[in-house]
Amino acid sequence: MTYENPVLPGSHPDSRVGDDYYLVTSSFNYFPGVPLYHSDNLILGERLGHCLMRESQLVLGDTRSSGGIFAPTLRHHDGTFYLVTTHVDGGGHFVVSADDPAGEWSDPIDIGAPGFDPDLFFDDGTAYFTYAAGPTLAETTIQRTALNLVMEAVGDTCGIEGSFCEAPHLYERDSVYTFASMPNVK
């Protein structure tokens, strides 16, 4: 038997929780929004459903075909799944959460920042929110039912004159912290 790897061709972020892998994809101007996939072996996968199933979570209106939901990122922290994404035609960044990724997701919490390609990184009880629009880093504190946001800009380039960050993400492995981004030179 031959298996395709990756499970879904293309560039899609995934989160691992124990022996389970979860993957979300952009849904652009389609409803329901943000397809969610699961695999326990990274060979075979199944679609669990969508993260944005209710109109209260996603209003598309006159969203253009190249607009809508871009670059969702799925994270797991302290038993809760967090999905942060951008509605490029309708309000910017927002986050939803769920205890069970195949269950019901919360209504969106508006992050109130422009840009695209958002990420959440959890460290020592703090969630760091990064996004493209220059490398702007916002510090947030996580509570069980909400994200309380305190925005703090920490820069405006990716270290390359005339560029902005594409897909910025923060990582920690073995006490080493890495900020990764692709510069997009205009």
Which entry of 4, 14, 104, 152 is annotated as an active-site residue?
14
Burial bucket for residue 94 (CB in 10 Å: 0-12, 13-18, 19+):
buried
- 39: Cβ–Cβ under 8 A, 6 or more apart, which residues? 7, 20, 21, 23, 45, 46
The SS3 of residue 166 is: strand
The dihedrals phi and psi of 118, each to the nearest 5 degrees, come to -75, 160
166 assigned to active site: yes
Residue 6: cis peptide before it, omega within 30 degrees of 0: yes
Which entry of 40, 166, 172, 174 is annotated as an active-site residue?
166
> Which run of H or E residues covers position 17?
strand 14-17
Indicate which residues carry an active-site annotation: 14, 166
